[in-house]
Amino acid sequence: LRILGIETSCDETAAAVVERDADGRSKVLSDVVLSQLDEHSAYGGVVPEIAARAHVEALDTLIDEALQRAGVSVRDVDAIAVTSGPGLIGGLLVGLMTGKAIAKAAGKPLYAVNHLEGHALTARLTDGLSFPYLMLLVSGGHTQLILVRGIGQYERWGTTIDDALGEAFDKTAKLLGLPYPGGPQVEEAAKKGNPDRFDFPRPLVGEKRLDFSFSGLKTAVRQTAADIAPLTEQDVADVCASFQRAISRTLKDRIGRGLQRFSAEFPHLDEEPALVVAGGVAANLEVRATLQALCDKYAFRFIAPPLRLCTDNAVMIAWAGLERMATGVAPDDLDVQPRSRWPLDSNAEALISYGK
Ligand code: ATP
Ligand code: MG
Ligand code: FE
């Protein structure tokens, strides 16, 4: 099976070709990503209209490049997989219309892929992981703990009731006058800071349900910054270090409970249970160390796919399409519509009123 993947849900335009041969060996034939970071950084965040226009400009050449690098033409792929939600509607439309046009013109089946499913299944491509496993997605738009039972079988165990974790990093950076995207800036500044100087809140810690909340943390940072203004470089470093400490403590509690719940639900797995992390915040070394320590404590394997595949890319979309096709899931109709909101699991619909 050979699949062309297309991703345009946020600020990355991406195309890729992924293949699995008869012996079950998988291979990434090409992986092209164009980040729009420069276009958005002046505005301190992703501007939807700019993103959609940039996708329009780049996507066709990017798809050509992905096919060329893979050494195949559209005739040689078995299906087109394209992200059709969740995300910014303009970008989704660009990708989905392009995917439909190619599928129609080349007479290939189309798989409309949930972006989150792409993140969720990546570890099966990179690490050959078998079901079930736990996945923590921490990006600029999502903070979710998901039980991955099988293809098309996902249970959302926890989600943020306000800001995403990456968003909390970005907003904290902005409050401190650091440039966008703030995650790497906060991490860098924190290296020289004192994590014990400020005692920031750790929302929902100790609660039984596995949700997250980060907006109170951001408010505490704003308050602190106002209290000690004007901030010296050392102050900024101390705030960043204390912020990261609060995040670590929060993750330790929330994810620790998740691991225990997983072990209780699946006491007799053939292999050691696994926790997969995905999303841009997975680049953060303190976050990684926290998750690694938790996995050591509860005897889980900790799996962090290479960063390029943790952040937004089209390999994961092609792969999700491939997995669906391989398990005999029917392709989507060409009148499938993009969905700006699209929870992975069916029982998440009820929760959506208070979280994303
Ligand atoms: P989506 O949420 O739709 O999957 P996104 O573009 O918001 O997409 P990613 O590209 O996966 O998400 O990740 C970007 C986020 O990761 C930003 O919020 C950024 O600040 C954060 N981030 C990147 N590097 C680090 C780091 N070293 N520490 C903390 N956060 C980081
Ligand atoms: Mg991104
Ligand atoms: Fe993503």
ipTM of the assembly?
Answer: 0.98
Please report, to the nearest 10 degrees, the dihedral formed by the alpha carbons of residues 277, 175, 244, 51 taken in order: 10
The per-residue pLDDT for range 45-61, each reduced to its tens digit, is 899 999 999 999 999 99
How many beta carbons lie within 10 A of that of residue 302, not counting itself? 15
Provide, rounded to the nearest whole percent, the portion of the chain with pLDDT above 90.
92
Residue 141 burial (C-beta neighbours within 10 Å; 0-12, 13-18, 19+): buried
Residue-level pLDDT at 345: 84
pTM: 0.94
142 lines ligand 1 (CB under 6 A): yes
Q: Check pLDDT > 50 for residue 356.
A: no
Q: Which of 119, 312, 339 has the most ligand 1 atoms within 8 A of CB, as the residue to mutate? A: 312
The per-residue pLDDT for range 31-42, each reduced to its tens digit, is 999 999 888 988
Strand 12-20 with 26-35, pairing = antiparallel
Q: Check pLDDT > 50 for residue 351.
A: no
Provide, rounded to the nearest whole percent, the portion of the chain with pLDDT above 70.
97
Ion ligand 2, residue ranges at CB < 5 A: 10-11, 312
Summarize the confidence of residues 117-121 as an average pLDDT: 97
Least confident segment among 9-18, 166-175, 242-251, 344-353: 344-353
Atom of ligand 1 nearest to the CA of 310: 11
The per-residue pLDDT for range 278-304, each reduced to its tens digit, is 999 999 999 999 999 999 999 999 999
Quote the distance between the C-alpha of residue 55 and its chain's center.
19
Residue-level pLDDT at 346: 63
Mean pLDDT, the chain, whole residue set: 94
Nearest ligand by distance to the CA of 140: 1
Q: Which residue has the higher pLDDT, 302 or 180?
A: 302
The per-residue pLDDT for range 217-226, each reduced to its tens digit, is 999 999 999 9
Question: How does residue 262 score in pLDDT terms, banded at 50, 70 and 90?
Answer: very high
Q: What is the residue whose two structure tokens read 């962090």?
A: 304
Q: Check pLDDT > 50 for residue 355.
A: no
In the chain the first and final C-alpha atoms are separated, in Å, by: 34
CA distances 234 to 192, 194, 224, Å, are 8, 9, 14
140 lines ligand 1 (CB under 6 A): yes
Residue-level pLDDT at 348: 55
